Amino acid sequence: MMQLERQKKILDYLNKNRKATTKELSQLLDVSATTIRTDLNQMEEKLITKTHGGAVYNDRSLDNIELTGRAYIFDERALENRKEKEAIASKAIKLIKNHMCIYLDASSTCYTLGMKLSGFTKLTVIAGGASLIQPELTGKDLLMPFGKADSLALALKDVPGITVILTGGIVTSVSSSIEGLLGEDLLTKIHTDIAFVSARGFSVENGLTDFSIYEADLKRRCVKSSAKTIALIDHTKFNTTSISSYASLDDLNMVITDFGLSEHTKSIYENAGVNLVLAKEV
């Protein structure tokens, strides 16, 4: 079981039972007490409070804020709509070929795509974020442990055949993106074949929108310098709008979404001229 999946099960158990001992969790997940303690250490201060010999769930129901009003902590976003993001990433990776230069933004969906990048003989990846998850390499599989302050760029640098370029800027503590226009000069000099981007909101009227003005500005420049722009948007982002627009419908060559999109919503966006691709559940 992947560490991220195991920690999700721990969270679900604590959400239901409010508290648990290390022994309980160890027996529930069939792993050692040492492994459970490591998981709890990584999850502490984000979702739980450690106690002597166990943990208590932090009730964060009062912390919920409207989609347009906050930047979700990356670890939390990584747990949202996981099946949908896996399906979208599995569809998107089929578009990537050897000798391409691609851009991946700081979204958790693009991170999921990045974790599937293996088996290429020559691929350049421009990474737009320092996401707070440190992948471990196990053969050719890329696993996604929870809560380590390392980046997608650091994970991919050890994958054979991949060259990684990290855009410059200020690393944010909340969304784990790299903000500011220090990466602007880089994007004007490098031609990307495909820019893979996501967003906090997607609508016919406003296109792709994000909560960070600085991050949206960098994405806007990346879209302009790329031969193709492909948006990776799960169905929950449709018909929502965040603070800053960075790409209109005309800027998008394709939008890959998941199996949860309704037929009604699908017809609205297709009628608006969106090249919409639905990914099947994996």
Per-residue model confidence as pLDDT tens digits over 151-192: 577 778 778 899 988 775 555 444 444 444 555 666 677 889
Strand duo 141-143 + 162-166: pairing: unpaired
Q: Which long-range contacts (CB under 8 A, 24 or more apart) does 163-171 make?
A: 163/122, 163/123, 163/124, 163/125, 164/124, 164/125, 164/127, 165/124, 165/125, 165/126, 165/127, 165/190, 166/126, 166/127, 166/130, 167/126, 167/127, 167/128, 167/218, 169/214, 169/218, 170/214, 171/130
Residue 12 has pLDDT above 90, yes or no: no
Share of the chain above pLDDT 70, in %: 70
Q: Specify the pTM.
A: 0.66
pLDDT for 22: 85
Give me the mean pLDDT over the 91-107 stretch: 94
d(CA 107, CA 115): 13
Give the confidence band of 14 by pLDDT, cuts at 50, 70, 90. confident
Mean pLDDT of the chain: 76
pLDDT at 72: 41
Round the CA-based radius of gyration of the chain to a whole number and report it: 19
